[in-house]
Amino acid sequence: MSTSQAGPDNAPVQVAVYGATGHTGRFVVAELLRRGFTPIVSGRDAARLEALAKEWGEVVVRPATVDDPAALDRALEGAAAVINAAGPFAVTAGPVVEAALRAAIPYVDVAAEIEANAAMFAGYGEAARKAGTPVVPAMAFYGGLGDLLVTAALGDQAGGPAAADVVHVAYGLSGWHPTAGTRTAGQVSHQRRSGRRVRFANGALEYHDDQVREQDWLFPEPLGRRRVIAEFTMADVVTVPSHVAVPEVRTYMTVEAARDLAASDTPPPEAADASGLSDQTFVVDVVVSAGGAERRATARGRDIYAISAPLAVEAVQRLLDGRTREAAPAGVISAGALFDAADFLASLAPHLTVDLPA
């Protein structure tokens, strides 16, 4: 474990984790402990929190439900920031971010739900700016990682905000064993869309009933050419256009992973070793077309749920340390707009192996 994080009065720095007992939440708590933070673990299941606290050790237990604002306020008391890892985020994001704004502390979540992320940008930007508080949605494998890769691929563009003609984000997963939370969030999104599919085209989210289409994608070796589902749309279609002037963001998923997700009998992820990580591997391959040129950025790693923990905790660490593009960021901000993307990605070694344009 690293040296304990301490504030100005040498008191341990506390970071709240809402949804701490969930699959991703447990990885987040472990990463906070590894970095020397004192987690405040929260969620609706008090008995489960107490049981896991015996395993975690130095944590503070504060149960709360999202329909109880006073309990959420108590849960965040004394916290320097909060990480929301409780899905479906269509239900939890609003109450938890409102509690964070009342407490005037940074809010970070790991939401992969497109509509929940879009609602965060649309509904809380002004309130977060007035509170002087940064709100960072989708700071996870879906949404945050792709956004950082796109931003790093674009590099520094002279003459104003980043711009691109089209952004492609291809997910090469060896398989996808969804958690119960992923399945529940998927059902919520399906209901909100009335069964339609979604894409980002013509500068906006579009809902449609087009047939599912497959194509080939040439991933970097050793993955190579793979069959992918085109317009398998993920949270990148919200995070990237929030700060990159781009009319089209296309995302793709390897056919095998999409089939795993669709199958009702695909089991949840299982730990392959003492670290708790599954044996699933991934490649996120980003190709950005801008000004007649293509630039590529790629990340490789293991376990799409576990990698969300260092992504979210690194974001909190940088917010608290002041390592952001702006001195005092406020509002709803994506990872690429908030942080030095290349430096952030480099800090994630050994969790990630990243190849960026020279």
Q: Are residues 204 and 316 in the same domain?
A: no
Average pLDDT over residues 87-99: 96
Q: Are residues 286 and 316 in the same domain?
A: no
Query: Is 204 contained in some domain?
Result: yes
Cβ contact 237:204 at 8 Å:
no
Token readout for 169 is 């984000």
Query: Is 265 contained in some domain?
Result: yes
Any idea what the CATH number is for the domain that residue 319 is in?
Answer: 3.40.50.720
Q: Are residues 297 and 155 in the same domain?
A: yes
Query: Is 156 contained in some domain?
Result: yes
Q: Are residues 150 and 299 in the same domain?
A: yes
pLDDT of residue 358: 77
| pLDDT higher than 90, residue 2 | no
pLDDT in tens, 104-134: 999 999 999 999 999 999 999 999 999 999 9
pLDDT of residue 156: 66
Q: Which of 70, 81, 73 is nearest to 28 (CA)?
A: 81
Rg (CA), the chain: 19
> In 6-98, which ranges are E strands?
14-18, 38-42, 60-61, 81-84
Cβ contact 179:268 at 8 Å:
yes
Q: Are residues 320 and 288 in the same domain?
A: no
Query: Is 9 contained in some domain?
Result: no
DSSP structure class, residue 266:
P
Q: Are residues 200 and 68 in the same domain?
A: no
pLDDT of residue 9: 63
pLDDT of residue 202: 95
| pLDDT higher than 50, residue 5 | yes
Kindly list the distances between the CA atom of residue 29 and the CA atoms of 16, 56, 60, 109, 173, in Å, as whole numbers in the listed order: 9, 8, 11, 13, 25
Any idea what the CATH number is for the domain that residue 199 is in?
Answer: 3.30.360
Which domain covers residue 152, as residue numbers?
145-303+347-355
Long-range contact set of residues 263-266: C-beta below 8 Å, sequence gap at least 24: 266/176, 266/177, 266/178
pLDDT of residue 160: 56
Burial (CB count <10 Å: 0-12, 13-18, 19+), residue 141: buried
Q: Are residues 87 and 18 in the same domain?
A: yes
pLDDT of residue 194: 84
Q: Are residues 241 and 221 in the same domain?
A: yes
Q: Which of 332, 269, 353 is nearest to 111 (CA)?
A: 332
pLDDT in tens, 261-270: 999 999 999 9
Cβ contact 274:190 at 8 Å:
no
Burial (CB count <10 Å: 0-12, 13-18, 19+), residue 320: middle
Token readout for 313 is 């905790």
pLDDT of residue 191: 85
Q: Are residues 39 and 104 in the same domain?
A: yes
Query: Is 224 contained in some domain?
Result: yes
Query: Is 131 contained in some domain?
Result: yes
pLDDT in tens, 305-353: 999 999 999 999 999 999 999 999 999 999 999 999 999 999 999 999 9
Cβ contact 133:101 at 8 Å:
yes
**Cα(154)–Cα(290) distance, rounded to whole angstroms?**
8
Give how many domains the chain has, as a whole number.
Answer: 2
pLDDT in tens, 175-232: 999 999 999 988 888 888 888 999 999 999 999 999 999 999 999 988 899 999 999 9
pLDDT of residue 221: 85
Query: Is 136 contained in some domain?
Result: yes
At 1, the pLDDT band (50, 70, 90 cuts) reads very low
Q: Are residues 133 and 149 in the same domain?
A: no
pLDDT of residue 195: 85
Q: Are residues 21 and 124 in the same domain?
A: yes
At 92, the pLDDT band (50, 70, 90 cuts) reads very high
DSSP structure class, residue 124:
H
pLDDT in tens, 128-161: 999 999 999 999 999 999 999 999 999 865 455 7
DSSP structure class, residue 50:
H
Query: Is 4 contained in some domain?
Result: no
Q: Are residues 42 and 61 in the same domain?
A: yes
pLDDT in tens, 240-284: 999 999 999 999 999 999 999 999 999 999 999 998 999 999 999
**Cα(204)–Cα(172) distance, rounded to whole angstroms?**
25
